[in-house]
Chains A and B, each alone.
Chain A
């Protein structure tokens, strides 16, 4: 009983830091998806150079552990900016570095799942669009994309949950997110109540990922329900 009370107490202390986790995750998901879209387009482009570049990029990023990516961005980018653009970015909010690292990390699986979703839609859909006079872009936007979106959804949810967990490494460069907060709580208690603290933290991650799953299945269901109810 005491343990449960403790966990609830720690939940209350950890939750305020959820903002940082959500900001970092959401920004990386949005930016990473956009980058992933560009990469997917590059992978399917007619230019060999673009295709090879995209493939090399994705294979390198996929092989990089997230903690290493965060460190490379955190230590490497300021140097790069200094040498190339003669700009000092040491003073940047550390959160930006994490967002950049996670964006890069997320773009690789995102590009892969966008490409496969796009390829799962039959070529005939595009041809039919062209034959009723629509442009390739209009057909892509109105016909292909909505269908590919539904195909990509479950895998996309998976990638989002993965990113959320990788985001737990944010604390490693000194951003005070929920994990860092948990460490502080444990330190303040001189190492006591450690497992209760981390249990509370795990609980929060569990609920978030549950919410992501639930959200996705709701969207999927509404899509199917729409088709059923209209045609009676």
Chain B
């Protein structure tokens, strides 16, 4: 459904992504793990066109092109078929929880207001925040904001939702409620690509784990295999280090 080949991206001579290829199939829940600075976030941002890639090819939602050749129309198509959940939530601060969700539906998708509100209420229901629909982001906890962020993404019914370290900015006691929502989504068949440091999520919820380091995909596969029997030394070391700290 989504295929990326040889994706490259650098900043000021620094190569962050050195030719990444991934395949996402419908219903996949893919966790991307790896040390900080390995390019995980940059990978999500270049696939979703938030950042321009330097090289590589994308096949997605009818677009089949090299990244450098994407025109405005292609970029629009890609953006309209992805959802994005940000590390810092990035809810619209001047909109209520409900309006955060209806905004994209009404303005970008031209859905009727009443229809959009129905969809938004459904989405809020799914993340357990129906009673917070009229709250502004500043009146919500971090965990609640992130759940609204997730509701905003699912309401648009995208082909795939990207999560960029969705729990990293949260207080530890709020991580659980967000992970729970993500797990429900995964169980309902939503296609998800998740950059995460939550090893429990990677191991127990996803159907594939990608381990990245230094702008490369070092290893990918079944979570059971990656966590219990990684074939690469680099993966082994990362997992030993990170699991030692849990």
Contact = CB atoms under 8 A, between A and B. Distances in A.
A131 B122 CA distance: 20
Contact of A133 (B109, B134, B136): B109
A156 B50 CA distance: 33
B231 interface: no
Nearest to A124: B90
A230 interface: yes
A121 to B, nearest CB: 8
B159 interface: no
A122 B109 CA distance: 24
B103 A142 contact: yes
Given A142-B103, A227-B139, A133 B94 contact: no
Given A138-B107, A142-B107, A227-B139, A122 B90 contact: yes
A218 B138 CA distance: 21
B80 A125 contact: no
Interface in A43-68: none
A80 to B, nearest CB: 41
Interface string B21-57: 0000000000000000000000000001010000000
Interface in A123-146: 124-125, 127-135, 138, 142-143, 146
Given A128-B91, A138-B108, A133 B79 contact: yes
Interface string B53-84: 00000000000000000000000100110111
Contact of B93 (A135, A147, A230): A147
Which of under 10, 10 to 19, 20 to 34, or 35 or more describes the interface residues of A? 20 to 34
B113 to A, nearest CB: 14
B9 interface: no
A231 interface: yes
Interface in B72-119: 76, 79-80, 82-84, 86, 88, 90-96, 103-104, 107-109
Contacts of A147: 93-94
A227 B90 CA distance: 18
A37 to B, nearest CB: 19
Nearest to A130: B79
A125 B92 contact: yes
A124 B139 contact: no
B141 to A, nearest CB: 13
Contact of A129 (B48, B92, B153, B156): B92
A130 B103 CA distance: 11
B135 interface: yes
Contacts of B95: 143
Contacts of B48: 131
Nearest to B108: A133
B147 interface: no
A146 B109 CA distance: 22
Most chain B CB within a 10 A radius of its CB, from A131, A134, A142: A131
Contact of B80 (A124, A133, A142, A230): A133
8 contacts: A129-B103, A133-B109, A133-B156, A143-B92, A146-B94, A227-B139, A230-B96, A231-B134
Interface of A: 122, 124-125, 127-135, 138, 142-143, 146-147, 227, 230-231
- Across the A-B interface, give the 10 residue pairs with the lowest CB-CB distance, nearest first: A132-B104, A133-B108, A124-B90, A131-B84, A128-B90, A231-B135, A133-B80, A146-B94, A134-B108, A230-B134
